[in-house]
C-alpha cells in the first residue's frame, strides 16, 4: 500500500494532523498500536464490584487548558477548532469554578478571569503587586512562538521581577507540572505559553470528558476520508539517503510513503530508525490515583476544581527520589466544573511525580503493595484538605501503566528534553509531531499536529 | 459567463472562519486588519481554492490575496 502520508499514533496530535492532511485530499493512514485512540489521554472503564455499575474513566484530562469563550479572537483554542472545522459548541465545555495553588504558608486562587489572580497577589503579597503587574506586562509583550529563541531560564526571569521566593515558587509550580519536560525549571518561552494557557485563559472540560474530544476527532477524520488502523504497531521506519520510504508493521506488512509524521516521541521514533535514543529520554513520569466516592464531595471551603498542592514552601519538580513523591500533588475534582451533574458519585484524582525504573523493577505482589501505598498517601492528603468520604472504588496507575499503554519509554508524560521545534528530523520526510515537537498538553499537541502537517504536508 | 470571484472568496472565508462577521467588509482594506485571520487561515483559503476550483496560488503570490479587491484582480484571470 502506498500513501501520501503515514502518521504514527492516534493520540491528539496524530488525529489532528490526519484531519488536516485528509481534508485537503491527501491519502493518509493513522497507525495506532493500541485498540483505541487517545494515547496519553485515553479512557477506560471498570465495573465497581459492590454496585456492579460500570464507570468510565479518563486517563488524564484534569483540565483542558487555554479556555476561550465562543468566538473569542486570537486564542489557541479558537484557532485549533477552526483548523479542524469543529464547532465550538460541539465540545460542550464546562468552565472551572476556580483553582488553587496550595503551599504550606500561603494559598493563591485563580480562575478563568485573570483578575482573581491579580487580586489574590495584591492581598496576599501586597509588596509584590507592582512587580507582578510588570511581569505580566513583560509576558504580554514577549514573543513566545519565536522558534529560534535561545534558552532563557524562567526562574532567572522570575527572580528579576519578583523578590519573594514563595511567590515565585507558587507561580511557577502549576506551569511546571502542566508543561515542562525539564526538571525544576523551564524555558521562558514555554513559561509564557503556560502562563497564558493557565492563568490568562484558564481551565474547562468537555461535559463528556476526553471521549468527547476523541470522538469529534475520529469522526472528523473519517468524514474527510482518512484511514485509521488500530492494533497496528510500527516496528521500523524505512529510509535511505534520499529520505523516508515507508514503515514496517509488527506483523511484517509494509506501507509506503515519502512522508511519515510520528507522534510516538523522539527517542521512540529514533528507535524505530535504529538510531541511538537512551540519552534523550525524559525523566518525568507520574502516578495517578482515582477515587470514586458514594456521593459528591463536600468541601469545607468553596469548591476548587484543581488544587496544586505542595506541603512546603519550596516546590520540587523532578523525578521522584523514591517510587513516588507525595510532598506535592495535583488534585482534580472533576465534579467542580460548572454545570456538571450535581448528584451521584463524587470523584477525586491525584497525580504524584514518580520514578519509572523503581516501579518497573517490582515483582507483581510488591507492585500491588506499592500501589496501595500511593492510595493511602492520596487519602491522607485529601484528609488534610478536609475531604473525607466513603469510597466505593479506587484505582492507581503508575509509570509502567503509562509505558504499557502509550509506548513512551520510561513512561514519560512530557517527553524528551530534546524538542524538535520545527518538526524536522535529520531524515528527509520524517517529522516529529506532538509532545516532542514541543507543544504539550491536549491543546498543545493538537496544535502541534496541525502546524507541522500544514508546514510539511500541505505547503510544499 | 463571468465568475463572481468575490462571492467565491467570501464563501471560502465563511467556511474557513465561520465565527467572523463578513457584513460591512471594505473590499479595498486588508482582510487581516478587518477579520481575525492568521497565516493558518490564509493557508486554508489557498487550499480551498485548489480543492473547490482547481485554482493554484503559489506561496510567493500569497500577498496578492491581501484585500478582497486584490483577490478579485489576481484570481479573475485564473477563473477565465
Ligand atoms: C495522567 C495524565 C494526565 C494528564 N492530564 C492532562 C490535562 O489535564 N490536561 C492536558 O492538557 N494534558 C494532560 N496530559 C497530557 C496530555 O495527555 C498529552 O500532552 C497529550 O495527550 C499528548 O498527545 P500526543 O499526541 O503528543 O502523544 P500521545 O498521546 O502519546 O500519542 C502517541 C500515540 O502513538 C501511539 N504509538 C506509540 N508508538 C507506536 C508505534 N510504534 N506504532 C503505532 N502507534 C504507536 C501510542 O499508542 C499513542 O496513542 C496528561 C497526561 C497524563 C498521562
Question: Is the CB of B19 less than 8 angstroms away from the CB of A78?
Answer: yes
Mutate which of A6, A39, A177 to test ligand 1's pocket (most atoms within 8 Å of Cβ)? Answer: A39
Residue of A nearest to B21 (CA): A71
- Index of the ligand 1 atom closest to the CA of residue A448: 26
Which one of A25, A74, A83 has the shortest CB-CB distance to B36?
A: A74
Give the number of A-B residue pairs with CB atoms closer than 8 Å: 31
Query: Residue A260 — φ and ψ, nearest 5°?
Result: -130, 125
Max Cα distance, chain A (Å): 66
The per-residue pLDDT for B1 is 46
Contacts of A83 in chain B (CB under 8 A): 40, 44
- Index of the ligand 1 atom closest to the CA of residue A264: 37
- CA–centroid distance, A398 to ligand 1, in Å, is 15
A80: closest CA of chain B, how far (Å): 10
- CA–centroid distance, A9 to ligand 1, in Å, is 9
Atom 47, ligand 1: residue with shortest CA distance: A406
Q: What pTM did the predictor assign?
A: 0.95
**If we measure between CA atoms, which residue out of A327, A323, A349, A347 comes closest to residue A411?**
A323
Residues contacting A124, CB < 8 A, separation 6+ = A106, A107, A108
Q: What is the CA radius of gyration of chain A?
A: 22
CB A436 within 8 A of CB A264: no
Task: Identify the structural domains of chain A with CATH numbers, from first to last.
Answer: 5-42+210-280+417-458 (3.50.50.60), 97-201 (no CATH), 283-406 (no CATH)
Number of other residues whose CB lies within 10 A of the CB of residue A372: 12
Residue of B nearest to A460 (CA): B59
Q: Where are the domains of chain B?
A: 5-79
Question: Is the CB of A454 less than 8 angstroms away from the CB of B40?
Answer: yes
Contacts of A87 in chain B (CB under 8 A): 18
The set of long-range contacts for A377-380, using a CB threshold of 8 Å and a minimum separation of 24, is A377/A324, A377/A326, A377/A352, A378/A289, A378/A291, A378/A326, A378/A329, A378/A350, A378/A352, A379/A291, A380/A326
* CATH of B5-79 among 1.50.40.10, 1.10.1200.10, 3.90.550.10, 3.40.50.300: 1.10.1200.10
Distance CA A145, CA A161 (A): 22
Distance CA A180, CA A183 (A): 7
**pLDDT at residue B64 is higher than 70:** yes
User: Residues lining ligand 1, CB < 6 A?
Assistant: A 8-14, 31-34, 39-41, 59-63, 65, 233-234, 263-264, 268, 286, 288, 402, 406-408, 413, 434-435, 440-442, 445
DSSP state of B68: H
Helix (H) or strand (E) holding B50: helix B39-53
pLDDT, tens only, A313-327 = 999 999 999 999 999
Number of other residues whose CB lies within 10 A of the CB of residue A13: 31
CB B1 within 8 A of CB B71: no
| Interface residue ranges in chain B relative to chain A, Cβ cutoff 8 Å | 15-19, 36, 38, 40-41, 43-44, 47, 50-51, 59
Question: Is the CB of B36 less than 8 angstroms away from the CB of A25?
Answer: no
Distance CA A307, CA A331 (A): 5
The per-residue pLDDT for A342 is 63
ipTM, 2 decimals? 0.91
- Index of the ligand 1 atom closest to the CA of residue A402: 53
A430: closest CA of chain B, how far (Å): 22
CB A37 within 8 A of CB A11: yes
Q: What order of strands is seen across the sheet that includes strand A5-8?
A: A227-229, A28-31, A5-8, A260-262, A430-432
pLDDT (tens place) for every residue of chain A, 460 residues total: 999 999 999 999 999 999 999 999 999 999 999 999 999 999 988 888 777 888 888 888 889 999 999 988 889 999 999 999 999 999 999 999 999 999 999 999 999 999 999 999 999 999 999 999 999 999 999 988 877 778 899 999 999 999 999 999 999 999 999 989 999 999 999 999 999 999 999 999 999 999 999 999 999 999 999 999 999 999 999 999 999 999 999 999 999 999 999 999 999 999 999 887 766 899 999 999 999 998 888 766 578 999 999 999 999 999 999 999 999 999 999 888 876 666 678 899 999 999 999 999 999 899 999 999 999 999 999 999 888 888 889 999 999 999 999 999 999 999 998 899 899 999 999 999 999 998 889 999 999 999 999 999 998 7
pLDDT, tens only, B2-36 = 679 999 999 999 999 888 888 888 999 999 888 88
Amino acid at each position: 500500500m502506498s500513501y501520501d502520508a503515514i502518521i504514527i499514533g492516534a493520540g491528539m496530535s496524530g488525529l489532528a494532523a490526519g484531519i488536516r492532511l485528509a481534508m485537503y485530499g491527501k491519502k493518509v493512514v493513522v497507525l495506532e498500536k493500541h485498540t483505541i485512540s487517545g494515547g496519553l489521554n485515553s479512557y477506560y472503564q471498570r465495573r465497581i464490584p459492590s454496585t456492579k455499575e460500570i464507570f468510565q474513566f479518563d486517563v488524564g484530562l484534569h483540565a483542558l487548558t487555554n479556555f476561550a469563550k465562543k468566538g473569542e479572537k486570537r486564542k489557541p483554542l479558537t484557532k485549533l477548532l477552526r483548523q479542524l472545522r469543529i464547532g465550538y459548541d460541539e465540545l460542550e465545555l464546562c468552565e472551572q469554578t476556580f483553582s488553587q495553588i496550595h503551599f504550606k504558608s500561603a494559598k493563591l486562587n485563580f480562575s478563568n478571569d485573570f483578575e482573581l489572580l491579580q487580586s489574590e497577589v495584591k492581598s496576599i503579597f501586597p509588596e509584590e503587586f507592582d512587580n507582578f503587574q510588570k511581569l505580566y506586562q513583560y509576558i504580554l509583550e514577549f514573543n513566545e512562538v519565536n522558534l529560534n529563541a535561545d534558552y532563557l531560564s524562567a526562574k532567572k526571569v522570575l527572580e528579576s521581577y519578583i523578590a519573594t521566593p514563595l511567590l515565585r515558587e507558587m507561580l511557577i509550580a502549576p506551569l511546571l507540572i502542566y508543561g515542562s519536560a525539564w526538571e525544576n525549571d523551564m524555558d521562558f518561552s514555554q513559561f509564557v505559553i503556560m502562563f497564558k494557557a493557565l492563568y490568562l485563559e484558564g481551565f474547562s472540560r468537555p461535559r463528556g470528558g476526553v471521549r468527547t474530544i476523541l470522538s469529534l476527532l475520529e469522526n472528523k477524520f473519517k468524514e474527510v476520508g482518512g484511514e485509521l488502523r488500530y492494533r497496528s504497531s510500527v516496528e521500523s521506519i524505512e529510509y535511505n539517503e534520499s529520505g523516508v520510504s515507508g514503515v514496517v508493521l509488527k506483523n511484517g506488512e509494509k506501507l509506503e510513503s515519502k512522508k511519515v509524521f510520528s507522534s510516538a516521541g523522539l527517542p521512540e521514533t529514533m528507535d524505530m530508525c535504529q538510531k541511538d535514543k537512551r540519552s534523550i529520554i525524559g525523566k518525568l513520569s507520574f502516578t495517578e490515583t482515582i477515587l470514586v466516592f458514594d456521593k459528591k464531595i463536600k468541601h469545607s471551603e468553596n469548591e476548587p476544581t484543581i488544587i496544586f498542592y505542595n506541603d512546603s514552601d519550596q516546590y520540587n519538580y523532578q523525578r521522584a527520589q523514591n517510587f513516588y513523591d507525595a510532598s506535592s500533588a495535583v488534585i482534580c475534582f472533576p465534579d467542580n466544573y460548572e454545570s456538571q451533574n450535581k448528584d451521584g458519585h463524587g470523584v477525586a484524582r491525584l497525580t504524584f511525580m514518580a520514578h519509572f525504573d523503581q516501579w518497573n523493577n517490582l515483582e507483581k505482589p510488591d507492585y500491588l503493595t506499592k500501589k496501595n501505598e500511593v492510595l493511602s498517601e492520596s487519602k491522607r492528603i485529601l484528609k488534610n484538605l478536609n475531604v473525607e468520604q466513603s469510597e466505593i472504588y479506587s484505582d492507581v496507575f503508575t509509570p509502567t501503566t503509562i509505558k504499557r499503554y502509550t509506548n513512551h519509554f520510561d513512561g514519560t508524560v512530557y517527553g524528551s528534553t530534546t524538542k524538535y521545534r520545527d518538526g524536522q528530523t535529520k531524515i528527509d520526510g520524517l517529522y516529529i509531531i506532538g509532545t516532542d515537537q514541543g507543544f504539550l498538553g491536549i491543546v498543545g499537541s493538537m496544535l502541534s499536529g496541525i502546524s507541522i502537517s500544514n508546514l510539511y504536508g500541505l505547503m510544499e | 459567463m463571468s465568475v463572481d470571484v468575490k462571492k467565491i472568496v467570501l464563501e471560502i472565508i465563511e467556511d474557513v472562519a465561520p465565527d467572523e462577521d463578513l457584513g460591512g467588509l471594505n473590499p479595498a482594506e486588508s482582510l487581516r486588519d478587518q477579520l481575525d485571520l492568521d497565516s493558518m487561515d490564509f493557508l486554508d483559503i489557498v487550499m480551498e481554492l485548489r480543492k473547490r476550483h482547481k485554482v493554484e496560488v503559489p506561496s510567493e503570490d500569497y500577498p496578492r490575496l491581501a484585500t478582497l479587491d486584490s483577490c478579485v484582480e489576481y484570481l479573475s484571470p485564473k477563473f477565465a
